[in-house]
Chains A and B, each alone.
Chain A
Amino acid sequence: MNKNPAFKKYYRKGMVQLYLLALIPLTFVIIFNYVPMFGILLAFKDYSIRKGILGSSWAGLKYFKQLFNTPIFPTILKNTIILSLQSLIIGFPFPILLALAFNEIKNARFKKTLQTISFAPFFISTVVVISIVNQIFSYRYGVVNEALNLLGKESINFIGLPEFFRPAYVWSGIWQNAGYGSVLYIAALSGVDVSLYEAAALDGANRFQRVIHVDLPCIAPTIIISLILNTGNILSLGFEKVYLMQNSVNYGVSETIATYVYKTGITQAQFSFSTAVGLFNAVVNCIILILVNTFADKISGTSLF
């Protein structure tokens, strides 16, 4: 640091400005993130709008008991877990494969072009992505059914098939995000030391072995960190997309915790109950995050905290 006394005196005096500046983002975080956290109290109270959160009487664990006794609870929990796991198991490795594949292209221009194409769906909104899925797989006018008809097959009402919901959710997610998701790994791969490749070549490794023994170990820390982050969100599935894809036919597989919170809370105004549902979700998330983080730390020495 600077030893100049004038500078030092000055720098203490000016510090108040930094405090003032810090107040701006801090205010936002307090108002929009921390105050709502106190709203979690709602889950333990019989909320009445007139009395407010603090004035309402305590309900104890009533709403949690209500949740566990709700007939649909096992279904929405199962749906949430299955959908998250499928997204994770299929969706997580895909950008890594894509990055490894891009990495094999030697022609820089060709690589750039393919990467740009892979990026396009990232800029399209979820609403539009889902409607593209609906249009392409539409029973009456969809191109997939037109193609089936040309092959002499009957049209299939995909959107009305409950079995269609999960693959459509997972693969449209990959379509939308794989290109963007691969950027992280492409960056990590560009940092691999070239001398490692030369050493591998001297040892007689072919390209595939080079990927297994050089590329993957080098990007392993990046993979593990993003795996932990992804797993931490395992139950906080995007509400938006599920809600958009939900219809009366696939309800049995598409009703998840988030859509249930929305319906009971916003639509039916059962504020305490739906806050309890949301809190249950958050606690499970938190436990999973800690477990995965500990596990990753034990196995690989890489962890988030």
Chain B
Amino acid sequence: MQKRIKLSKEDRIYLGIVYLFLGIFTVCTLYPLIYVVSCSFSSPEALVQGRVFFLPVEPGLQGYRAVLNNTRVWRGYLNTIIYTVFGTVLGVMVTIIGAYVLSRKEFPPRKVLTAIFMVTIFFGGGTIPTYLWLNNMKMLNTIWAIILPGAFNVWLAVVGRTFIQSSIPEELFEATSLDGGDYIQYFSRVVIPLAKPILAVLALNFALGHWNSYYSALLYLNDASKYPLQIVLRDILIQNTVDLTNVVGVDVNNALHNQYLSELLKYSLIIVSSLPLLIVYPFIQKYFIKGVMIGSVKG
């Protein structure tokens, strides 16, 4: 059935521009990533002398060794894992419950509840009132300030509600009811098992948010031992607080080498912190796409 239509001149010019645009876009997207990876595997001297452009020069793992020896990074990593795991579990539970409640059309306050939830997307108390309120509740400088405030995500609840309404047949509810099942049993025995794809969407959105978040930690935590990875990264990468020159001897050559090493460490650190996500994302991106698609059905 496929016919090969000869492209007109205009069409060829147009397609040429499209492919040029996509080509430039793809190169611009990929190059910084490739450059960072290559730098992270190069030698400190090659990096500082500006000999790295595309592939690693004098390949080695010196940068990674320096990262391995940095205890702050590992504590940050551990904290981030804790916040991500608990934040995700809690977020998914609260949000899917909200989604389920909103999906029951016979629930009288459904519309009011939706309005109450939606208002929070557009209005909030602002930075300072929220900060003082958390302080009032003695949540500052605890894990609660990190995982509780965002646990109910309205946008994801609407995504979940839309999924439940469109993908779980209403007959199942009637069948459950006639068998003597109540709303909670219907939720736990029918909705949850059938809502697995949407649970994945919620979980991954929460996990990505917690993994990359630094805002709430910056505002609400002041104890360095509780800092998540992103705060540690900010200190080292942007505020340059790692100074290896002080650590090892006074030998001039060594000092210089260490200064180079602290520059190399930045690249290795970027990779160490982002690698888990960059490895798994091609396999999980479909869940993020799905979230956007379902969310756009009725935004």
In angstroms, Cα B154 to Cα A31, docked, is 14
Are A127 and B238 touching (Cβ within 8 A)? Answer: yes
Pick out which of these stretches binds chain B: A69-77, A82-90, A176-184.
Answer: A176-184
Task: Tell which of A14, A104, A114 touches B26, judged by Cβ atoms closer than 8 Å.
Answer: A114
Pull 15 A–B residue pairs with CB atoms less than 8 Å apart, ordered by A.
A7-B174, A11-B177, A25-B101, A32-B130, A35-B125, A123-B281, A124-B278, A127-B212, A128-B270, A141-B47, A175-B29, A271-B132, A274-B128, A278-B128, A286-B123
Q: Fill in one digit per residue for A217-229: 1 if any B CB lies within 8 Å of its CB, else 0.
A: 0000010010001
B74 within 8 A of A: no
Since A36-B125, A98-B25, A136-B32 are in contact, a sample of 6 more A-B pairs with Cβ atoms closer than 8 Å, ordered by chain A residue number, is A4-B178, A120-B29, A123-B277, A124-B278, A128-B273, A275-B126
Interface residue stretch chosen among A38-46, A161-169, A248-256: A38-46
A14-56: which have CB < 8 Å to B? 14-15, 17-19, 21-22, 24-26, 28-29, 31-40, 42, 53
- The number of chain A residues touching the other chain, given as a range, is 35 or more
B180: chain A residues within 8 A (beta carbon): 10
A287 to chain B, nearest CB (A): 12
Cβ contact within 8 Å between A127 and B292: no
Within 8 A of A (CB), among B104-147: 104, 106-109, 113, 116-117, 120, 122-133
Q: Is the CB of B151 within 8 A of A28?
A: yes
The residue of chain B having its C-beta at the shortest distance from the C-beta of A264 within the complex is: B128
Contacts A126-B214, A286-B122; is A7 near B281 (CB within 8 Å)?
A: no
A139 to chain B, nearest CB (A): 12
State A121–B34 Cα separation when bound (angstroms).
Answer: 12
Interface positions of B (Cβ within 8 A of A) = 8, 10-11, 14-15, 18, 21-22, 25-26, 28-30, 32-33, 35-36, 39, 47-48, 50, 52-53, 94-95, 97-98, 100-101, 104, 106-109, 113, 116-117, 120, 122-133, 148-152, 154, 157, 174, 177-178, 180, 182-184, 187, 208, 211-215, 219, 230, 233-234, 237-238, 263, 266-267, 270, 273-274, 277-278, 281-282, 285, 288-289, 292-293, 296, 299
Residues in B whose Cβ lies below 8 Å from that of A15: 106-108, 183
Indicate if the CB atoms of A187 and B293 lie closer than 8 Å: yes
Q: Chain B at the A interface: mostly helix, strand, loop or mixed?
A: helix
Please tell me if the beta carbons of A36 and B129 are within 8 angstroms of each other in the complex. Answer: yes
Chain A residue at minimal CB-CB distance from B104? A18
Hey, what's the 0/1 contact readout for A94-129 against B, CB within 8 Å counting as 1?
000110011011000000001011111111111110
Which chain A residues lie closer than 8 Å to B126 at the CB level?
36, 39-40, 261, 275, 278-279, 281-282
Residues of A with C-beta under 8 A to B106: 1, 11, 15
CB-based nearest B residue for A6: B178
Query: Which of B100, B109, B152, B277 has the largest count of A CB atoms less than 10 A from its CB?
Result: B152
Asked if A261 and B128 sit within 8 Å, CB to CB, the answer is yes
For the complex, give the distance between the alpha carbons of A138 and B117 in Å: 45
Asked if B101 and A21 make an inter-chain contact with CB atoms under 8 angstroms apart, the answer reads yes
Q: Are A207 and B266 in contact (CB under 8 A)?
A: no
Q: Which partner residue on chain A sits nearest B131 by CB separation?
A: A266
Assess the A101–B18 pair: CB atoms within 8 A.
yes
Write out the residue numbers on chain A whose beta carbons fall within 8 Å of the beta carbon of B29.
117-118, 120-121, 175, 179
Residue A189 is within 8 A (CB to CB) of chain B in the complex: no
Instruction: Kindly state whether residue A239 has any CB partner on chain B within 8 Å.
Output: yes
Q: Which 10 A-B pairs have the closest CB atoms?
A: A39-B129, A36-B125, A25-B98, A125-B212, A278-B126, A131-B237, A146-B50, A28-B152, A17-B183, A33-B120
